[in-house]
């Protein structure tokens, strides 16, 4: 859990530092910075997607995972949490919707992707926190930029980082026998798809934004779909 704790602190500190610059940046510049970050997130997602070795597994993971996420409505749950935090801490005049936007955008950015998955797996299975330490440095810089552009919801995303990455680290320790390199690769590929959706949201080129949080269960679907696909590989075109 050490890697997750360090990562959580990095996001919180970076977010707080970013808030110091928030009122000093013209909104026009803040918007263009966010679009630039969105493009970078899109590119990072693509690099994860192209590593997939089992395209049908990725498709099934997205279909099944999105149905589960939509049924549970994870997006709404996170949004309610953000609104509650906004009320509890009385974070100012930004409003609940702006707070929720910053919270959700940052939470998903910091918790989805190959570095998150690989880092938590290494931390949980081998007690090697190197990847998460490296990710912490990247997230520190990203949190500064995001908070300056999106506001106080960003540092509060550290709470989501703690819960999500902590749970993934503990899960890795329990499931180390089934987390083969192929499973990890496909989990990263699905995470890449979610990053692409998040990037598109930030670039703001889609008329209706993706409820990215509702796709989160898809990241974990390869854990059982890959072994099943291996058994059916002689029959189906996985």
Please, which pLDDT band fits residue 89 given cuts at 50, 70 and 90? low
1-23 pLDDT per residue, tens: 888 999 999 999 999 998 888 77
Tokens at 75, concatenated: 């997006």
Residue 238 lies in a domain: no
* Range with lowest mean pLDDT among 156-160, 174-178, 220-224: 174-178
pLDDT score at 63: 95
Axis crossing angle, helix 114-121 with helix 181-203, rounded to the nearest 10: 140
59-72 pLDDT per residue, tens: 999 999 999 999 99
Domain of residue 154 covers: 2-232
74-86 pLDDT per residue, tens: 888 877 877 777 7
* DSSP string for the chain: -HHHHHHHHHHHHHHHHHHHHHTTS-HHHHHHHHHHHHHHHHHHHHHHHTT-S-HHHHHHHHHHHHHHHHHHTHHHHHHHHHHHHHHHHT--TT-HHHHHHHHHHHHHHHHSSHHHHHHHHIIIII---HHHHHHHHHHHHHHHHHHHHH-THHHHHHHHHHHHHHHHHHHHHHSTTT--HHHHHHHHHHHHHHHHHHHHHHHT-SSS---GGGGGGGGGTHHHHHHHHHHHTTTS--
Residue 237 lies in a domain: no
Nearest CA to 56 among 190, 176, 168? 190
This prediction has a pTM of 0.76
Across 177-184, average pLDDT: 81
pLDDT score at 68: 95
CA 227 – CA 206 distance, rounded (Å):
36
* Range with lowest mean pLDDT among 93-97, 129-133, 163-167, 198-202: 93-97
pLDDT score at 25: 67
CA 208 to chain centre: 20
101-141 pLDDT per residue, tens: 788 888 888 887 777 887 888 888 778 888 899 889 888 98
More confident residue, 85 or 234: 85
Model confidence at 236: pLDDT above 60: no
Residue 53 lies in a domain: yes
More confident residue, 10 or 209: 10
pLDDT score at 60: 94
Residue 208 lies in a domain: yes
Residue 112 lies in a domain: yes
Model confidence at 94: pLDDT above 60: no
Name the domain count of the chain.
Answer: 1
| Alpha carbons within 13 A on the beta-carbon side of 37 | 25
Task: List Cβ neighbours of 117 (8 Å cut-off, separation of 6 or more).
Answer: 168, 184, 187, 188, 191, 219
Residue 150 lies in a domain: yes
Residue 18 lies in a domain: yes
Residue 15 lies in a domain: yes
| Phi-psi domain of 209 (left: phi exceeds 0; alpha: psi -120 through 50; beta: other) | beta
């Amino acid at each position: 859990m050490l890697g997750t704790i360090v990562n959580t602190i990095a996001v919180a500190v970076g977010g707080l530092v970013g808030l110091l610059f928030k009122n000093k940046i013209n909104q026009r510049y803040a918007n263009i910075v966010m679009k630039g970050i969105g493009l970078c997130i899109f590119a990072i997602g693509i690099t994860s997607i192209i590593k997939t070795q089992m395209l049908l597994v990725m498709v099934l993971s997205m279909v099944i995972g999105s149905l589960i996420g939509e049924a549970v409505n994870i997006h709404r749950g996170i949004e309610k949490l953000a609104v509650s935090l906004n009320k509890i801490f009385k974070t100012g005049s930004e409003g609940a919707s702006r707070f929720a936007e910053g919270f959700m955008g940052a939470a998903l950015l910091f918790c989805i992707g190959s570095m998150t998955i690989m880092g938590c797996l290494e931390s949980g299975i081998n007690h090697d926190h190197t990847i998460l330490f490296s990710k912490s440095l990247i997230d520190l810089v990203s949190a500064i930029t995001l908070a300056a552009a999106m506001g106080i919801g960003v540092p509060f995303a550290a709470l989501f980082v703690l819960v999500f990455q902590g749970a993934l680290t503990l899960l890795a320790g329990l499931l180390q026998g089934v987390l083969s390199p192929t499973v990890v690769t496909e989990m990263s590929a699905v995470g890449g798809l979610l990053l692409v959706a998040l990037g598109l949201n930030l670039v703001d080129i889609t008329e209706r934004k993706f409820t990215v949080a509702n796709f989160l269960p898809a990241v974990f679907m390869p854990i059982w779909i890959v072994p099943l696909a291996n058994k059916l590989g002689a029959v189906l075109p996985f």
